[in-house]
Amino acid sequence: MIDWILLLSNAAQEIISPTTAAYALAALGLAIHFGFTGLLNFGQAGFMMLGAYGFAIATLTFEWPVWAAMLTGVVASIVFALILGIPTLRLRADYLAIVTIAAAEIVRLLFTTNTFEPVTGSANGLQGYKGGFEALNPIPPGTYGFGPWVYNEYDWWVRIFGWSLVAIAAFVTWRLFKSPWGRVIKGIREDEDAVRALGKNVYFYKMQSLILGGVFGALAGMIFILPRAVVPSNYQTSLTFFIYAILLLGGAATVFGPIIGSVIFWVLLSFFSGFVARAVEVGWLPFLSNVQAGQLRFILVGIAIMLIVIYRPQGIFGNKKELAFVK
């Protein structure tokens, strides 16, 4: 029989899981790009990848301390944003979409190729970079928690660290979009020529937005690899699409939408995947194999994206009037 308690408790774990935090932060970055500025960044996976690899390579190859390793990831994402932004931010919105998606693939191929294997670990990725981060853990060894949320000291440390970053990023975003800076950014989303005619350096603001959201993506990439290894195949374009699904779910032009969107997304996905997998095991779905059950989540995410965009473009929390799609 299906162990419903287990399914529910697995789903409940997703509420505070570091993966949820990572996706929330990446989606927040994308909200800055897409929701507030109108930049069609389809390369958020690339920013995450640079954050993750920047951190891991700085730790493993250069043996730098944690703060320097994190800084490396952040700097890498800033450089990436500059490389992407300089040619494309002057162009039409759809060019940025194509260039960002292409650039994220370039990054992934560069980390996957055997050519740089000594540094990147090629298709196998990297591991063993967590020592420094572990050493910073102030929590004494042991297991803590209640209900479904019982973890050891490292797992708690990762969660606390991840969600703190999310909280800080959300606060920064909220402050920014209540400021005149945020007003310019939203104006650019609506019509950049009009903003230009008012004497604002649109190009510069777009670049700032691209960098800021990209840095959030890089930090998200670091949170993402703390509970697992860095593997290049995790950073396919579908990662970016998942983040778009989260963003659209929560509301593209909101600060808390991406965070709550991420929680809802992962809780539902975990529950659903768990349910289908168990259902296949106990023979409720004879036409599905276990592997096929695993693919179902992609199909669902795809359909969810379509339905949200068509029927509720403002997301769950967005204001119906302020549905933030670039026209």
Partner 1 sequence: MSSSAGAQGAPIKSTGLHIGEPAPGVKKVDPIIVADNITRTFGGLTAVQVEHLEIPRGAITALIGPNGAGKTTLFNLLTGFDKPDTGEWTFDGQGISGIPAFKVARKGQVRTFQLTKALGLLTVLDNMKLGAKGQSGESLARALFPWFWSKQEKQIEERAIELLTRFKLDAKKDDYAASLSGGQRKLLEMARALMSEPSLVMLDEPMAGVNPALTQSLLDHILDLKTQGMTVLFVEHDMHMVRHIADWVVVMAEGRVVAEGDPHEVMANPAVIDAYLGSHHDEDLGNLDTGVMNAIKELADDDADDDKR
Partner 2 sequence: MAHAASRPHPRRAHRRFAAVLLAGLVGLLTLSVSAPAAANEVGLDDYDFKISGLVELADEPLADVLLVIEGGGFRVEVESGEDGRWAVGIPEKGDYTVTLDENTLPEGIAVIDPEDETPNVREITVGQSGSAVANFFIGQGERNTTSLFDQIVERIFNGLNFGLLLALAAIGLSLVFGTTGLSNFAHAELVTFGGLMTLLFGVVLGLPIWLAIPIALILSAGLGYVNDAALWKPLRRRGVGLIPMMIVSIGLSLAVRYIFQMFVGGDTQQLPGATDTTLSIGLFGLSWTDVASMGISVLVLLGVAYFLLRTRIGKATRAVSDNPALAAASGIDVDRVIRIVWVMAGALAGLSGILWAYFRPGVSWDMGFQILLLTFAAVTLGGLGTAFGALVGALIVGLFVEISTLVIPSDMKYVGALVILILVLLVRPQGILGRKERIG
Least gap, CB of 309 to partner 2 (angstroms): 5
Angle at CA of residue 271, ends 270 and 277, nearest 5°: 85
CA distances 173 to 116, 131, 176, 312, Å, are 37, 31, 5, 24
Pick the binder of partner 2 from 296, 312, 316, 317 (CB under 8 A). 296
- Are the CB atoms for 293 and 285 separated by under 8 Å? yes
DSSP per residue, 26-66 = HHHHHIIIIIII------HHHHHHHHHHHHHHHHHTS---H
Instruction: Give the containing element (helix H, strand E) for 277.
Output: helix 257-281
182 contacts partner 1 (rule: CB under 8 A): yes
Among 8, 10, 105, 172, binds partner 2 (CB under 8 A): 105
Residue with tokens 């990831």: 73
Q: Which of residues 184-203 bind partner 1 (CB under 8 A)?
A: 184, 186-187, 189-191, 193-202
Binder of partner 1 out of 41, 112, 120, 208 (CB under 8 A): 208
Question: Min. distance of Cβ 189 from partner 1 in angstroms?
Answer: 8
Rg for the chain, CA atoms, rounded: 20
Q: Scanning residues 148 to 187, which ones bind partner 2 (CB under 8 A)?
A: none
The dihedral sign for the CA sequence 219, 224, 230, 233 = negative
Considering CB distances under 5 to 8 angstroms, the limit depending on partner class, which of partner 1, partner 2, none binds residue 123?
partner 2
Min separation Cβ 246 and partner 2, Å: 13
Shorter beta-carbon distance to partner 1: residue 18 or 251: 251
Nearest in space to 168 (alpha carbons), one of 80, 255, 77: 255
Strands, E assignment, the chain: 143-146, 149-152
Which residues within the stretch 109-128 sit at the binding site for partner 2 (CB under 8 A)?
A: 109-110, 112-118, 121-128
d(CA 185, CA 182): 5
Question: Per CB under 8 A, which of residues 204..233 are in contact with partner 2?
Answer: 229, 233
Please identify, among the stretches 81-89, 177-185, 265-273, 274-282, the one whose residues bind partner 2 according to the rule CB under 8 A.
81-89
Q: Which residues contact 263 (CB under 8 A, 6 or more apart)?
A: 14, 15, 20, 24
Which spans of this chain sit near partner 2 (rule: CB under 8 A)? 40, 60, 86-88, 90-95, 97-99, 101-103, 105-106, 109-110, 112-118, 121-128, 193, 229, 233, 236, 238, 241, 244-245, 248, 291-292, 295-296, 298-306, 309-310, 313, 325-327
Which spans of this chain sit near partner 1 (rule: CB under 8 A)? 172, 175-176, 178-184, 186-187, 189-191, 193-202, 208, 212, 321-322, 324
